[in-house]
C-alpha cells in the first residue's frame, strides 16, 4: 500500500521555511519586547490612549437627550445604577443604515449590538459598529466651531448664514457624503429650489459610482444590485469582498452566506463559492474554489464568462462568438456549467473598484441567468442620483475656474481622499468654504468655517438600509461638544435658523405617516425600524444598445498597482480609534500600518523580503512603503490600502502621542482609477512591521488538555 500523503499546514512563510530566526521565536513563551511598542512607547502608554475614550464615558459630564427628559428629585424606577437600559437606533455608513440596539449605563452609551428586527442587521454588527462607541468618546474629536482657524460659536455661524445665504443667486456647490436620510433629501430639495445656481454632488472615496454607471449601461437606469445569498446555490465573486466590513452591506450578506452554507443534517446541501481576485480577501478565504488573477484582468474574465454562457442562455447575443485570452481557461467552462445548472439560483458579482463595463457585463449575466427577481433585485435608490465620479470632477473643474463663491461640505474629507488631486488647490478660488466634520481634519484646515459634527449617537436623523428599509437614528446622549448634525447644518443654510434635529426628523415622518402618526412614531422609536418600507424593485431589460467594451481586455502588462479601502480603518475616518489600529488585518495580521502586499514570485522578482521599503510610482505620484509577502496573491500585482498617513487629526492616527505620521498615505496613487500601471523598486531602507501572524503558537503543546 502506498503511503498516504499528509497535508502540510503552516501559519506563515517563516514557519514553512523553518529558519533559525523562527525557531528561536517559537521557543520563547512571549515574543521579544512584547510589552513595548516601537520608539519606546510602552503597551501601558497605548492602553492609556485607548482607555481615554472609555474614561470619558465614565466622566460626570454625560448629557441626556432633551426630548421627553424631565428633572427628578427621586430616582426613576427605570434608572438603576449598574443596570443597563437598551434603546433602538441605527448607524449610517456609506449612505446606508444598519439597525442597532444601544446599551446605556446611567445615561451613557457603552455598547452596541445588532437589532434583531432590522433586516440589514438581524442581530449582527461589523467592527466599525462595535468601535463607534469609542469614536464618540474620542478626546481628539472637534470640540468647537472655527472661523478661519479661530474660536467661534454656533450662534456666530447662524448669524453669518442669515446674511450670506440671503442672496439666493449665489453660485454654491454642496458636496456631501452619501446619505439616504429622507430628512436630508428633503432639505436638499429645498436648497436646490432656493438657490437657482446651486449644484449638489455626493462624494465617497469608495462609493457605488462604477456600479451605478454599469447598470446604466446595461439597463439604461442607475440601479443598485441587492443580492439574496440565502437563495443562491452558487456565488461567483469577481474581486468582490462582500464579507469584509468595508462593504456597506457586509452584515446582511454575511448572515445570508452563512445560512446558505450551514449543514445540520445529511440531507442538507451547501452553497458553493467561487472567488476570482488579485489579493487574498475574506470572501476568497471562505471560497470553495479560488483563482488568483490580476485586477486588470477581471474585465476580460467577465467577457469570457459571458461569451461561454451566450450559447446556452438567452440575452447575451452581444457576446456570441467572442473570445479572448480566458476563453479556453478551465474555470470558464466550469463556471458556465455551474451557472447554467443553477439558473435563477446563482449570483455573479464584481467589486465596486472595478470598471462600469465590468458591472454592466455582470448585470447582463445575472439577467440572462434568470437571477433577477430572485437572488438579485435591482433597486431604485433616489439618493444615489448625484453619486458620480464624473460629476465630482466637473465640480472641481468649475471650482478651479472660479465658478463658485461658496462651497458647503457635509461630512466628507476630499482634501485627504479625493482621487482628483486638483481639489485642494481649487478650494483657494472659493470665497467661503463651510465644512462639517468630526475632526479638524485635512479639509477643515483649508476652509473658512469649520463646524464640529455631532456623532450619530448624539443626534437625530433617519435613513434607509442598503435594501431600502427605513429607520430613525435616536440620540443616546446630548452632544458632548455641542456639535451639529448634517440636517441641522443644512437647515441653518437653507432657512437661516437653528431647528433641532428632533423637530426636523419628526416633521419628515409626519409626512411619511399621513395618518395615525403618534402610534406609528412610538412603534418606530421602540422597534427602530419601519418594516413596511423599502426601495422599489425595478423591472429591468437589457438595453438593445448595450455592447461590452472589449478594450478592457487589455490587462496591464507590467506590474499593476491596486488601492483599496482598509479592513480596519476603511477610508481613514476611523484612524484615530486605537482599538481598530490594534486590530489585526484579517488576512495579513498586520497592525498599526499599511503595506505593499505582493506574491512570493513578485517579491523574488523585485528582490525584496518582508519589511524592505519599496518605492512605488503610479499616476505621476511616488510613495515609499514597506513590502509584505502574501501567499495567495496574484503575481505582478501590488495591493495597497488607504487610511494611513493622516495629517494631525489626533494622537492615535498620528502614531501614538508624538504626532509622527502613522503609516503611508496611498491616496495619491489612485488617480482616476483604483487599478493602474506602476513601477516598483527596492530601496536600501527597512521598516519594522507589527504582525501577529506567528503569535500564540501551539508548537510543542498538546492539542487537548
Q: Residue 186's domain is classified under what CATH number?
A: 3.40.50.740
Per-residue pLDDT, 1: 41
Q: Is residue 353 part of a domain?
A: yes
State pLDDT tens for residues 445-492.
Answer: 999 999 999 999 999 999 999 999 999 999 999 899 999 999 999 999
Domain stops at, among 360, 383, 406: 383
Mean pLDDT of the chain: 87
197 and 169 in a common domain: yes
pLDDT band at 673 (very low <50, low <70, confident <90, very high): confident
593 and 562 in a common domain: yes
More confident residue, 2 or 83: 83
482 and 353 in a common domain: no
| Residue 647, pLDDT above cutoff 60 | yes
Question: Tell me, what CATH number does 608's domain have?
Answer: 2.40.40.20
Domain that holds residue 223: 209-262+269-383
More confident residue, 608 or 544: 608
Q: Are the C-beta atoms of 476 and 429 separated by less than 8 Å?
A: no
| Residue 57, pLDDT above cutoff 70 | no
Distance between the two ends of the chain, CA-based, in angstroms?
A: 34
Number of folded domains that form the chain = 3
429 and 320 in a common domain: no
- 417, three cell numbers: 481622499
| Residue 633, pLDDT above cutoff 80 | yes
589 and 442 in a common domain: no
Choose among 140, 83, 76: nearest CA to 575.
140
Angle between helices 127-136 and 43-58 (to 10 degrees): 70
More confident residue, 434 or 119: 434
Per-residue pLDDT, 37: 45
| Residue 26, pLDDT above cutoff 90 | no
Question: Tell me, what CATH number does 342's domain have?
Answer: 3.40.228.10
3-state class of 277 per DSSP?
Answer: strand
| Residue 661, pLDDT above cutoff 60 | no
403 and 373 in a common domain: no
Q: Are the C-beta atoms of 355 and 363 separated by less than 8 Å?
A: no
| Residue 30, pLDDT above cutoff 80 | no
Per-residue pLDDT, 144: 95
Q: Give the least confident one: 429-438, 561-570, 692-701.
A: 692-701
328 and 317 in a common domain: yes
Average pLDDT over residues 490-512: 95
State pLDDT tens for residues 198-217.
Answer: 999 999 999 898 999 999 99
Domain stops at, among 348, 383, 418: 383
Average pLDDT over residues 86-99: 93
3-state class of 187 per DSSP?
Answer: helix
256 and 357 in a common domain: yes
Q: Measured in whole angstroms, how far is the alpha carbon of residue 500 from the centre of its chain?
A: 29
CA distances from 454 to 182, 446, 483, 529, 569 (A): 18, 21, 4, 22, 20
Q: Is residue 703 part of a domain?
A: no
Sheet with 272-277, strands from edge to edge, namely 289-292, 272-277, 234-238, 346-350
Burial 646-656 (b: 16+ CB within 10 A, else e): beebbbbbbbb
State pLDDT tens for residues 329-369.
Answer: 999 999 999 999 999 999 999 999 999 999 999 999 999 99
Q: Is residue 107 part of a domain?
A: no
Torsion of CA 363, 365, 367, 373, to 10 degrees: -80
pLDDT band at 70 (very low <50, low <70, confident <90, very high): very low
The Cβ-side half-sphere exposure at 446, using a 13 Å CA radius, reads 19
Predicted TM-score (pTM) of this structure? 0.87
State pLDDT tens for residues 586-595.
Answer: 999 999 999 9
Average pLDDT over residues 287-312: 94
Q: Is residue 93 part of a domain?
A: no
Per-residue pLDDT, 221: 92
Q: Are the C-beta atoms of 223 and 540 separated by less than 8 Å?
A: yes
State pLDDT tens for residues 100-126.
Answer: 999 998 888 999 999 999 988 899 999
Q: Are the C-beta atoms of 98 and 120 separated by less than 8 Å?
A: yes
337 and 353 in a common domain: yes
Cα–Cα distance between 666 and 656 in angstroms, integer? Answer: 20
Q: Is residue 440 part of a domain?
A: yes
Neighbours of 494 (CB within 10 A): 19
Number of H helices, E strands in the chain: 20, 27
State pLDDT tens for residues 212-231.
Answer: 999 999 999 999 999 999 99
Q: Measured in whole angstroms, how far is the alpha carbon of residue 333 from the centre of its chain?
A: 34
Q: Element (H or E) spanning 612, and its range?
A: strand 612-618
Per-residue pLDDT, 675: 86
Per-residue pLDDT, 421: 85
Per-residue pLDDT, 13: 66
Torsion of CA 393, 394, 399, 405, to 10 degrees: -130
Residue 338 phi/psi, 5-degree rounding, is -65, -45
Q: Is residue 586 part of a domain?
A: yes
Choose among 475, 411, 485: nearest CA to 454.
485
Average pLDDT over residues 610-625: 93
Provide long-range contacts, Cβ within 8 A and 24+ apart, for 27-31.
31/694, 31/695
Per-residue pLDDT, 58: 53
419 and 481 in a common domain: yes
Percent pLDDT > 70 in the chain is 85
Q: Measured in whole angstroms, how far is the alpha carbon of residue 483 from the centre of its chain?
A: 24
| Residue 556, pLDDT above cutoff 90 | no
Average pLDDT over residues 8-30: 61
Domain stops at, among 481, 503, 535: 535
Q: Are the C-beta atoms of 446 and 415 separated by less than 8 Å?
A: yes
Residue 283 phi/psi, 5-degree rounding, is -65, -40
Q: Is residue 58 part of a domain?
A: no
Neighbours of 272 (CB within 10 A): 18
362 and 435 in a common domain: no
Burial 374-402 (b: 16+ CB within 10 A, else e): bbbbbbebebbebbbbebbbebbebbbee
| Residue tagged 461630512 (cell numbers) | 411
Q: Is residue 330 part of a domain?
A: yes
Angle between helices 356-368 and 298-310 (to 10 degrees): 20
- 694, three cell numbers: 506567528
| Residue tagged 521579544 (cell numbers) | 32
Per-residue pLDDT, 533: 85
| Residue 396, pLDDT above cutoff 90 | yes
Average pLDDT over residues 59-71: 49
Average pLDDT over residues 639-655: 87
Neighbours of 608 (CB within 10 A): 22
Per-residue pLDDT, 657: 46
241 and 197 in a common domain: no
Amino acid at each position: 500500500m502506498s503511503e498516504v500523503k499528509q497535508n502540510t499546514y503552516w501559519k506563515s512563510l517563516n514557519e514553512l521555511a523553518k529558519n533559525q530566526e523562527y525557531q528561536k521565536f517559537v521557543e520563547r513563551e512571549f515574543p521579544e519586547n512584547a510589552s513595548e511598542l516601537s520608539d519606546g512607547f510602552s503597551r501601558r502608554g497605548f492602553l492609556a490612549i485607548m482607555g481615554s475614550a472609555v474614561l470619558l464615558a465614565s466622566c460626570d459630564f454625560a448629557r441626556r437627550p432633551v426630548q421627553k427628559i424631565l428633572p427628578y428629585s427621586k430616582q426613576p424606577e427605570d434608572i438603576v445604577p449598574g443596570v443597563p437600559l437598551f434603546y433602538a437606533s441605527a448607524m449610517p455608513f456609506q449612505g446606508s443604515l444598519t439597525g442597532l440596539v444601544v446599551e446605556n449605563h446611567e445615561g451613557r452609551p457603552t455598547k452596541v449590538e445588532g437589532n434583531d428586527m432590522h433586516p440589514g442587521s438581524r442581530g449582527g454588527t461589523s467592527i466599525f459598529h462595535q468601535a463607534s462607541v469609542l469614536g464618540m468618546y474620542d478626546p481628539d474629536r472637534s470640540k468647537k466651531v472655527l472661523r478661519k482657524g479661530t474660536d467661534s460659536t454656533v450662534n456666530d455661524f447662524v448669524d453669518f448664514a442669515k446674511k450670506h445665504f440671503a442672496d439666493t443667486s449665489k453660485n454654491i456647490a454642496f458636496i456631501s457624503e452619501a446619505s439616504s436620510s429622507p430628512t436630508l433629501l428633503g432639505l436638499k430639495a429645498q436648497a436646490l429650489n432656493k438657490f437657482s445656481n446651486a449644484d449638489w454632488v455626493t462624494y465617497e472615496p469608495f462609493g457605488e459610482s462604477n456600479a451605478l454607471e454599469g447598470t446604466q449601461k446595461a439597463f439604461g437606469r442607475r440601479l443598485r444590485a441587492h443580492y439574496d445569498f440565502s437563495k443562491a446555490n452558487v456565488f461567483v465573486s469577481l474581486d468582490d469582498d462582500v464579507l469584509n466590513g468595508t462593504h456597506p452591506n457586509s452584515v446582511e450578506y454575511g448572515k445570508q452566506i452563512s445560512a446558505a452554507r450551514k449543514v445540520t443534517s445529511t440531507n442538507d446541501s451547501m452553497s458553493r463559492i467561487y472567488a476570482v481576485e488579485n489579493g487574498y480577501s475574506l470572501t476568497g478565504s471562505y471560497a470553495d474554489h479560488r483563482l488568483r488573477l490580476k485586477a486588470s484582468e477581471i474585465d476580460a474574465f467577465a467577457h469570457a464568462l459571458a461569451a461561454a454562457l451566450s450559447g446556452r442562455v438567452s440575452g447575451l447575443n452581444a457576446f456570441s462568438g467572442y473570445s479572448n485570452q480566458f476563453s479556453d481557461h478551465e474555470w470558464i467552462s466550469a463556471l458556465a456549467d455551474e451557472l447554467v445548472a443553477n439558473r435563477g439560483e446563482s449570483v455573479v458579482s464584481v467589486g465596486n473598484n472595478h470598471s462600469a463595463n465590468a458591472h454592466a457585463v455582470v448585470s447582463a449575466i445575472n439577467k440572462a441567468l434568470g437571477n433577477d427577481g430572485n437572488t438579485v433585485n435591482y433597486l431604485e435608490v433616489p439618493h444615489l442620483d448625484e453619486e458620480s465620479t464624473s460629476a465630482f470632477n466637473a465640480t472641481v473643474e468649475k471650482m478651479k475656474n472660479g465658478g463658485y463663491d461658496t462651497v458647503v461640505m457635509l461630512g466628507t474629507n476630499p482634501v485627504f481622499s479625493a482621487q482628483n488631486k486638483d481639489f485642494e488647490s481649487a478650494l483657494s478660488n472659493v470665497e467661503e468654504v463651510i465644512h462639517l466634520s468630526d475632526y479638524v481634519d485635512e479639509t477643515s484646515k483649508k476652509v473658512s468655517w469649520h463646524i464640529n459634527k455631532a456623532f450619530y449617537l448624539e443626534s437625530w436623523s433617519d435613513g434607509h438600509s442598503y435594501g431600502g428599509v427605513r429607520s430613525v437614528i435616536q440620540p443616546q446622549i446630548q452632544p458632548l461638544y455641542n456639535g451639529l448634525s448634517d440636517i441641522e447644518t443644512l437647515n441653518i443654510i437653507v432657512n437661516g435658523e437653528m431647528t433641532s434635529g428632533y423637530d426636523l426628523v419628526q416633521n419628515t415622518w409626519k409626512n411619511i405617516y399621513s395618518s395615525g402618526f403618534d402610534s406609528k412614531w412610538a412603534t418606530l422609536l421602540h422597534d427602530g425600524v419601519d418594516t413596511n418600507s423599502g426601495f422599489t424593485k425595478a423591472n429591468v431589460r437589457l438595453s438593445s444598445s448595450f455592447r461590452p467594451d472589449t478594450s478592457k481586455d487589455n490587462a496591464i502588462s507590467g506590474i499593476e498597482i491596486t488601492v483599496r479601502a482598509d479592513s480596519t480603518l476603511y477610508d481613514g475616518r476611523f484612524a484615530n480609534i486605537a482599538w481598530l489600529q490594534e486590530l489585526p488585518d484579517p488576512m495579513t495580521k498586520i497592525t498599526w500600518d499599511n503595506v505593499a502586499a505582493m506574491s512570493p514570485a513578485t517579491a523574488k522578482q523585485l528582490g525584496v523580503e518582508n519589511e524592505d521599503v519599496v518605492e512605488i510610482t503610479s499616476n505621476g505620484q511616488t510613495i515609499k512603503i514597506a513590502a509584505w509577502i502574501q501567499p495567495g496573491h496574484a503575481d505582478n500585482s501590488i495591493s495597497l490600502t488607504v487610511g494611513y498617513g493622516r495629517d494631525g487629526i489626533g494622537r492615535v492616527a498620528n502614531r501614538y502621542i508624538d504626532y509622527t505620521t502613522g503609516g503611508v498615505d496611498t491616496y495619491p496613487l489612485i488617480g482616476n482609477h483604483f487599478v493602474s500601471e506602476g513601477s516598483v523598486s527596492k530601496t536600501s531602507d527597512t521598516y519594522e512591521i507589527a504582525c501577529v501572524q506567528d503569535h500564540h503558537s501551539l508548537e510543542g503543546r498538546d492539542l487537548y488538555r
